[in-house]
Amino acid sequence: MPTISVIVPVYNTASYLSRCIASLVNQTYSDLQIILIDDGSTDSSGKIADEWQAKDPRIEVYHQTNKGQSAARNVGLLHARGEYIAFMDSDDYIDSNYFSTMLQVADATTDCVQIGYRRVKQDGEIIKAYRPKHFYQYTSPCMRLYRRYFIECHHLRFPEGMIYEDVVFSIDIWLAHPAYKMIPYCGYNYTLNTTSTTSSKRPEAENELYRQLKQRLRKANSFTDRLLLTYTIIRLKIHFLKS
Residue 103 has pLDDT above 60, yes or no: yes
Rounded to an integer, the average pLDDT of 26-34 is 97
Domain assignment present for 213: yes
Domain assignment present for 44: yes
- 207 is in which domain, residue-wise? 201-243
Q: Are residues 33 and 129 in the same domain?
A: yes
Q: Are residues 108 and 82 in the same domain?
A: yes
pLDDT at residue number 200:
58
**β partners of residue 64:** 39
Q: Are residues 15 and 121 in the same domain?
A: yes
Q: Are residues 107 and 210 in the same domain?
A: no
DSSP letter string, 110-154: -SEEEEEEEEE-TTS-EEEEE--SSTTS--SS-SEEEEHHHHHHT
Burial class (CB in 10 A: 0-12, 13-18, 19+), 108: exposed
Rounded to an integer, the average pLDDT of 40-64 is 98
Residue 199 has pLDDT above 70, yes or no: no
Total domains in the chain come to: 2
Position 242 confidence tier, pLDDT thresholds 50, 70, 90: confident
* CATH number for the domain harbouring residue 107: 3.90.550.10
Q: Are residues 10 and 89 in the same domain?
A: yes
DSSP H or E stretch at residue 86: strand 84-87
Convert the pLDDT of each residue in 149-181 to its tens digit.
Answer: 999 999 999 999 899 999 999 999 999 999 999
pLDDT at residue number 196:
52
Distances (CA, A) of 80 to 29, 36, 191: 18, 11, 25
Question: What residue type is 90 in one-letter code?
Answer: S
Domain assignment present for 236: yes
Q: Are residues 91 and 182 in the same domain?
A: yes
Domain assignment present for 172: no
Rounded to an integer, the average pLDDT of 90-116 is 96
pLDDT at residue number 194:
59
Domain assignment present for 171: no
The sign one gets for the Cα dihedral 20, 23, 26, 29 is: negative
Domain assignment present for 50: yes
Contacts 24+ apart (CB under 8 A), 46-51: 46/10, 48/14, 48/17, 48/18, 48/21, 49/10, 49/17, 49/21
Distances (CA, A) of 200 to 49, 189, 240: 27, 21, 10
CA distance 96 to 101: 10
Residue 77 has pLDDT above 60, yes or no: yes
Task: Tell me which DSSP letter residue 179 carries.
Answer: -
Rounded to an integer, the average pLDDT of 92-110 is 96
Q: Are residues 105 and 225 in the same domain?
A: no
The rounded mean pLDDT for the chain is: 93
DSSP letter string, 28-54: SS--EEEEEEEES-SSSHHHHHHHHHH
B/e letters for 170-195, b = 16+ CB within 10 Å, e = fewer, are bbbbbbeebebbbbebbbbbbbebee
CA distance 201 to 190: 19
Task: Tell me which DSSP letter residue 73 carries.
Answer: H
Q: Are residues 80 and 45 in the same domain?
A: yes
Rounded to an integer, the average pLDDT of 63-81 is 97
